[in-house]
Amino acid sequence: ELPDGGARPNVAQFKQLVVSALRELHGEVGAALPVDVLTYEEKTLSAILRVISSGLVKLWSALTLLGFYQNRRCAFRVLQTSPFLLALSGNSRELVL
């Protein structure tokens, strides 16, 4: 979330933001964590990230504690986590029978 509007990061800038958040909190070891951006929507600023299960806590904590992007306030919201990619394709709570 970027509450003040302005320029939105493209996919490369978003990936760099994730890596820099990991580096800031966990150092070079955190920055070396393999994180893939599977999808990224620049309009909605939403993404699906893939990380190994042992790195989930490091990634989540780094994103949660990141507060600025290019000297502007920002916030990450984790909407879902799953060990299976297919589980992220739909929301069972919104299922209409």
CATH number for the segment(s) 11-89: 3.30.70.3250
Q: In sequence order, what are the residues at sequence separation of 6 or more whose Cβ sits closer than 8 angstroms to the Cβ of residue 18?
A: 35, 37, 49, 59, 62, 63
The CA distance from 39 to 15, in Å, is 11
* CA-based nearest residue to 75, from 59, 64, 91: 64
The per-residue pLDDT for 95 is 59
pTM over 0.85: no
pLDDT for position 3: 82
- pLDDT tens, per residue, the chain with 97 residues: 888 777 889 999 999 999 999 999 999 999 999 999 999 999 999 999 999 999 999 999 999 999 998 888 999 998 888 888 777 776 666 656 6
